[in-house]
Chain A
Protein backbone atom coordinates (compact mmCIF):
# COMPACT_ATOMS: atom_id res chain seq x y z
CA UNK A 1 0.00 0.00 0.00
CA UNK A 2 2.83 2.37 0.83
CA UNK A 3 3.95 4.39 -2.16
CA UNK A 4 7.00 6.58 -2.50
CA UNK A 5 7.97 9.16 -5.11
CA UNK A 6 10.95 6.97 -5.96
CA UNK A 7 8.64 4.12 -7.04
CA UNK A 8 6.29 6.40 -8.98
CA UNK A 9 9.07 7.78 -11.19
CA UNK A 10 11.49 5.84 -13.32
CA UNK A 11 14.42 4.35 -11.36
CA UNK A 12 17.31 6.79 -11.01
CA UNK A 13 15.17 9.73 -12.12
CA UNK A 14 13.92 12.45 -9.78
CA UNK A 15 10.26 13.58 -9.95
CA UNK A 16 9.40 16.87 -11.64
CA UNK A 17 9.21 19.85 -9.25
CA UNK A 18 9.02 23.42 -10.48
CA UNK A 19 9.05 26.19 -7.85
CA UNK A 20 6.71 28.42 -9.87
CA UNK A 21 4.15 26.83 -12.19
CA UNK A 22 1.07 28.24 -13.94
CA UNK A 23 -1.26 27.62 -11.00
CA UNK A 24 1.04 29.41 -8.54
CA UNK A 25 1.56 32.30 -10.98
CA UNK A 26 -2.23 32.75 -11.41
CA UNK A 27 -2.80 32.64 -7.66
CA UNK A 28 -0.05 35.24 -7.03
CA UNK A 29 -1.63 37.56 -9.63
CA UNK A 30 -5.06 36.99 -8.00
CA UNK A 31 -3.75 37.88 -4.52
CA UNK A 32 -1.94 40.97 -5.80
CA UNK A 33 -5.08 42.06 -7.72
CA UNK A 34 -7.20 41.66 -4.59
CA UNK A 35 -4.68 43.72 -2.58
CA UNK A 36 -4.86 46.50 -5.21
CA UNK A 37 -8.67 46.39 -5.17
CA UNK A 38 -8.78 46.40 -1.36
CA UNK A 39 -6.30 49.26 -0.93
CA UNK A 40 -7.37 51.61 -3.74
CA UNK A 41 -10.86 50.60 -4.90
CA UNK A 42 -12.72 49.63 -1.71
CA UNK A 43 -14.31 52.24 0.60
CA UNK A 44 -12.58 53.22 3.82
CA UNK A 45 -14.41 52.29 7.03
CA UNK A 46 -15.79 55.45 8.65
CA UNK A 47 -15.04 54.31 12.21
CA UNK A 48 -11.73 52.47 11.86
CA UNK A 49 -10.12 54.16 8.88
CA UNK A 50 -7.83 52.45 6.36
CA UNK A 51 -6.53 49.91 8.91
CA UNK A 52 -9.86 48.07 8.62
CA UNK A 53 -8.66 46.95 5.17
CA UNK A 54 -6.37 44.47 6.95
CA UNK A 55 -9.65 42.51 7.21
CA UNK A 56 -9.24 41.48 3.53
CA UNK A 57 -5.97 39.63 4.26
CA UNK A 58 -6.54 38.69 7.92
CA UNK A 59 -9.81 36.76 7.58
CA UNK A 60 -9.01 34.89 4.31
CA UNK A 61 -5.65 33.87 5.83
CA UNK A 62 -7.52 32.59 8.90
CA UNK A 63 -9.90 30.57 6.72
CA UNK A 64 -6.99 29.05 4.79
CA UNK A 65 -4.66 28.54 7.75
CA UNK A 66 -7.08 27.39 10.42
CA UNK A 67 -10.02 25.73 8.72
CA UNK A 68 -8.60 24.37 5.46
CA UNK A 69 -4.99 23.62 6.46
CA UNK A 70 -5.84 22.13 9.86
CA UNK A 71 -8.80 20.24 8.35
CA UNK A 72 -6.47 18.71 5.75
CA UNK A 73 -3.88 18.01 8.45
CA UNK A 74 -6.44 16.11 10.53
CA UNK A 75 -8.00 14.16 7.64
CA UNK A 76 -4.68 13.18 6.05
CA UNK A 77 -3.19 12.23 9.45
CA UNK A 78 -6.14 9.99 10.32
CA UNK A 79 -6.11 8.44 6.85
CA UNK A 80 -2.37 7.85 7.15
CA UNK A 81 -2.86 5.93 10.39
CA UNK A 82 -5.34 3.74 8.55
CA UNK A 83 -3.80 3.36 5.07
CA UNK A 84 -0.05 3.96 5.78
CA UNK A 85 0.35 5.76 2.45
CA UNK A 86 3.40 8.06 2.28
CA UNK A 87 1.53 10.55 0.11
CA UNK A 88 -0.91 11.17 2.96
CA UNK A 89 2.02 11.81 5.29
CA UNK A 90 3.41 14.33 2.79
CA UNK A 91 -0.02 15.99 2.49
CA UNK A 92 -0.22 16.32 6.30
CA UNK A 93 3.31 17.76 6.46
CA UNK A 94 2.61 20.24 3.65
CA UNK A 95 -0.75 21.28 5.17
CA UNK A 96 0.92 21.91 8.52
CA UNK A 97 3.72 24.03 7.06
CA UNK A 98 1.57 26.10 4.69
CA UNK A 99 -1.07 26.40 7.43
CA UNK A 100 1.59 27.65 9.85
CA UNK A 101 2.49 30.33 7.29
CA UNK A 102 -1.12 31.54 6.93
CA UNK A 103 -1.76 31.36 10.68
CA UNK A 104 1.41 33.40 11.14
CA UNK A 105 -0.06 36.08 8.86
CA UNK A 106 -3.23 36.02 10.99
CA UNK A 107 -1.25 36.40 14.22
CA UNK A 108 0.82 39.31 12.85
CA UNK A 109 -1.86 41.25 10.98
CA UNK A 110 -4.35 40.83 13.85
CA UNK A 111 -2.33 42.87 16.38
CA UNK A 112 -1.65 45.59 13.78
CA UNK A 113 -5.39 45.95 13.22
CA UNK A 114 -6.13 45.60 16.96
CA UNK A 115 -3.75 48.47 17.74
CA UNK A 116 -5.99 50.87 15.80
CA UNK A 117 -9.40 49.45 16.69
CA UNK A 118 -8.89 48.20 20.28
CA UNK A 119 -6.03 50.48 21.30
CA UNK A 120 -3.69 47.63 22.15
CA UNK A 121 -1.47 45.23 20.23
CA UNK A 122 -2.55 42.12 22.11
CA UNK A 123 -5.44 40.95 24.30
CA UNK A 124 -5.34 37.57 26.05
CA UNK A 125 -8.88 36.75 24.96
CA UNK A 126 -10.04 33.22 24.04
CA UNK A 127 -9.86 33.40 20.24
CA UNK A 128 -6.46 35.05 20.00
CA UNK A 129 -4.90 32.94 22.73
CA UNK A 130 -6.23 29.64 21.36
CA UNK A 131 -5.07 30.58 17.84
CA UNK A 132 -1.59 31.24 19.27
CA UNK A 133 -1.69 27.83 21.00
CA UNK A 134 -2.70 26.14 17.74
CA UNK A 135 0.19 27.90 15.94
CA UNK A 136 2.59 26.64 18.62
CA UNK A 137 1.15 23.10 18.36
CA UNK A 138 1.60 23.05 14.58
CA UNK A 139 5.13 24.42 15.04
CA UNK A 140 5.71 21.60 17.55
CA UNK A 141 4.37 19.12 14.97
CA UNK A 142 6.97 20.30 12.44
CA UNK A 143 9.75 20.24 15.06
CA UNK A 144 8.73 16.68 15.97
CA UNK A 145 8.99 15.66 12.33
CA UNK A 146 12.52 17.01 12.20
CA UNK A 147 13.52 15.21 15.39
CA UNK A 148 12.49 11.62 14.49
CA UNK A 149 14.84 9.85 12.08
CA UNK A 150 12.88 6.71 11.21
CA UNK A 151 10.39 7.62 8.42
CA UNK A 152 7.73 5.18 9.69
CA UNK A 153 7.95 6.38 13.30
CA UNK A 154 8.03 10.02 12.16
CA UNK A 155 4.91 9.58 10.04
CA UNK A 156 3.03 7.65 12.75
CA UNK A 157 3.89 9.97 15.67
CA UNK A 158 3.25 13.13 13.70
CA UNK A 159 -0.07 11.73 12.40
CA UNK A 160 -1.22 11.29 16.00
CA UNK A 161 -0.05 14.76 16.97
CA UNK A 162 -1.49 16.36 13.81
CA UNK A 163 -4.93 14.86 14.29
CA UNK A 164 -4.98 15.92 17.98
CA UNK A 165 -3.74 19.47 17.27
CA UNK A 166 -6.53 20.03 14.74
CA UNK A 167 -9.11 19.34 17.47
CA UNK A 168 -8.46 22.89 18.65
CA UNK A 169 -10.01 24.36 15.47
CA UNK A 170 -13.72 23.79 16.37
CA UNK A 171 -12.97 25.28 19.80
CA UNK A 172 -11.38 28.37 18.19
CA UNK A 173 -14.43 28.69 15.93
CA UNK A 174 -16.81 28.64 18.90
CA UNK A 175 -14.82 31.00 21.15
CA UNK A 176 -16.80 34.06 20.02
CA UNK A 177 -19.99 32.34 21.21
CA UNK A 178 -18.60 30.65 24.34
CA UNK A 179 -16.58 33.51 25.83
CA UNK A 180 -16.84 37.25 26.08
CA UNK A 181 -14.00 38.78 24.11
CA UNK A 182 -12.95 41.48 21.69
CA UNK A 183 -13.56 39.55 18.44
CA UNK A 184 -16.88 40.32 16.76
CA UNK A 185 -19.39 37.61 15.87
CA UNK A 186 -19.98 36.51 12.26
CA UNK A 187 -20.10 39.40 9.78
CA UNK A 188 -20.89 37.54 6.56
CA UNK A 189 -22.19 34.07 7.47
CA UNK A 190 -25.19 34.88 9.64
CA UNK A 191 -28.94 34.26 9.34
CA UNK A 192 -29.70 37.85 8.31
CA UNK A 193 -27.94 39.44 5.34
CA UNK A 194 -24.18 40.23 5.72
CA UNK A 195 -23.38 43.45 7.63
CA UNK A 196 -20.82 44.51 5.03
CA UNK A 197 -21.71 47.02 2.28
CA UNK A 198 -21.76 45.40 -1.21
CA UNK A 199 -18.37 46.85 -2.31
CA UNK A 200 -16.65 45.55 0.81
CA UNK A 201 -18.42 42.19 0.55
CA UNK A 202 -17.30 41.77 -3.09
CA UNK A 203 -13.68 42.52 -2.18
CA UNK A 204 -13.89 40.15 0.77
CA UNK A 205 -15.30 37.27 -1.31
CA UNK A 206 -12.67 37.87 -4.01
CA UNK A 207 -9.98 37.83 -1.29
CA UNK A 208 -11.22 34.48 -0.01
CA UNK A 209 -11.05 32.98 -3.53
CA UNK A 210 -7.57 34.45 -4.17
CA UNK A 211 -6.14 33.29 -0.84
CA UNK A 212 -7.61 29.80 -1.29
CA UNK A 213 -6.01 29.59 -4.74
CA UNK A 214 -2.67 30.65 -3.28
CA UNK A 215 -3.01 28.21 -0.39
CA UNK A 216 -3.58 25.24 -2.71
CA UNK A 217 -0.85 26.40 -5.11
CA UNK A 218 1.67 26.59 -2.25
CA UNK A 219 0.45 23.26 -0.89
CA UNK A 220 1.06 21.67 -4.30
CA UNK A 221 4.57 23.11 -4.56
CA UNK A 222 5.34 21.99 -0.97
CA UNK A 223 4.12 18.44 -1.71
CA UNK A 224 6.15 18.27 -4.90
CA UNK A 225 9.25 19.34 -3.02
CA UNK A 226 8.59 16.69 -0.35
CA UNK A 227 8.28 14.04 -3.10
CA UNK A 228 11.53 15.25 -4.66
CA UNK A 229 13.30 15.26 -1.27
CA UNK A 230 12.10 11.74 -0.43
CA UNK A 231 13.05 10.45 -3.89
CA UNK A 232 16.55 11.90 -3.54
CA UNK A 233 16.93 10.39 -0.08
CA UNK A 234 15.81 6.98 -1.44
CA UNK A 235 18.18 7.32 -4.41
CA UNK A 236 21.13 8.19 -2.18
CA UNK A 237 20.33 5.30 0.17
CA UNK A 238 20.20 2.79 -2.73
Chain B
Protein backbone atom coordinates (compact mmCIF):
# COMPACT_ATOMS: atom_id res chain seq x y z
CA UNK B 1 0.00 0.00 0.00
CA UNK B 2 2.83 2.37 0.93
CA UNK B 3 4.61 1.81 -2.36
CA UNK B 4 1.45 2.44 -4.42
CA UNK B 5 0.70 5.61 -2.47
CA UNK B 6 4.25 6.78 -3.15
CA UNK B 7 3.91 6.07 -6.90
CA UNK B 8 0.52 7.84 -7.07
CA UNK B 9 1.92 10.88 -5.27
CA UNK B 10 5.04 10.97 -7.43
CA UNK B 11 2.97 10.86 -10.62
CA UNK B 12 1.07 14.01 -9.82
CA UNK B 13 4.15 16.19 -9.77
CA UNK B 14 4.78 16.25 -13.53
CA UNK B 15 1.48 17.25 -15.14
CA UNK B 16 1.33 20.85 -16.26
CA UNK B 17 4.42 21.91 -14.36
CA UNK B 18 4.01 25.65 -13.95
CA UNK B 19 6.86 27.55 -15.60
CA UNK B 20 7.51 31.25 -15.46
CA UNK B 21 8.15 31.33 -19.17
CA UNK B 22 7.48 28.91 -21.98
CA UNK B 23 6.00 25.41 -22.06
CA UNK B 24 6.77 22.75 -19.41
CA UNK B 25 10.11 20.95 -19.65
CA UNK B 26 9.06 17.56 -20.97
CA UNK B 27 11.90 16.90 -23.45
CA UNK B 28 13.01 13.77 -21.60
CA UNK B 29 9.61 12.17 -22.21
CA UNK B 30 9.73 13.13 -25.89
CA UNK B 31 13.19 11.55 -26.26
CA UNK B 32 12.02 8.41 -24.45
CA UNK B 33 9.02 8.09 -26.79
CA UNK B 34 11.10 8.48 -29.94
CA UNK B 35 13.93 6.24 -28.68
CA UNK B 36 11.50 3.42 -27.87
CA UNK B 37 9.72 3.76 -31.24
CA UNK B 38 12.95 3.69 -33.26
CA UNK B 39 14.38 0.92 -31.06
CA UNK B 40 11.30 -1.28 -31.47
CA UNK B 41 11.19 -0.79 -35.25
CA UNK B 42 14.91 -1.49 -35.77
CA UNK B 43 14.69 -4.43 -33.36
CA UNK B 44 11.94 -5.95 -35.49
CA UNK B 45 13.94 -5.41 -38.70
CA UNK B 46 16.90 -7.18 -37.03
CA UNK B 47 14.58 -10.03 -35.98
CA UNK B 48 13.34 -10.39 -39.57
CA UNK B 49 16.92 -10.39 -40.91
CA UNK B 50 17.82 -13.13 -38.43
CA UNK B 51 14.72 -15.21 -39.30
CA UNK B 52 15.42 -14.95 -43.06
CA UNK B 53 19.08 -15.87 -42.59
CA UNK B 54 18.10 -18.93 -40.49
CA UNK B 55 15.48 -20.06 -43.01
CA UNK B 56 17.92 -19.67 -45.92
CA UNK B 57 20.72 -21.55 -44.20
CA UNK B 58 18.47 -24.17 -42.65
Interface residues of A (CB under 8 A from B): 14, 17-20, 24, 28, 31-32, 35, 39, 44-54, 57-58, 61, 98, 101, 104-105, 108-109, 112-113, 115-121, 214, 218, 221-222, 224-225, 228-229, 232
Interfacial chain B residues near A218, Cβ < 8 Å: 44-45, 48
- Give the nearest-CB partner of A58 in chain B: B33
- 16 further A-B pairs in the complex, CB-CB below 8 A; given A17-B55, A48-B24, A232-B55: A14-B56, A17-B56, A19-B48, A28-B45, A49-B24, A50-B26, A50-B29, A50-B30, A61-B37, A108-B36, A109-B33, A116-B14, A119-B12, A119-B14, A120-B15, A229-B55
Is the Cβ of A115 less than 8 Å from the Cβ of B24?
no
Q: Is the interface of B mostly helix, strand, loop or mixed?
A: helix
- Give the nearest-CB partner of A232 in chain B: B55
Which of B11, B25, B29, B41 has the largest count of A CB atoms less than 10 A from its CB? Answer: B29
Q: How large is the interface on B (under 10, 10 to 19, 20 to 34, 35 or more residues)?
A: 20 to 34
Task: Please give the distance in Å from A5's CB to the nearest CB on chain B.
Answer: 11
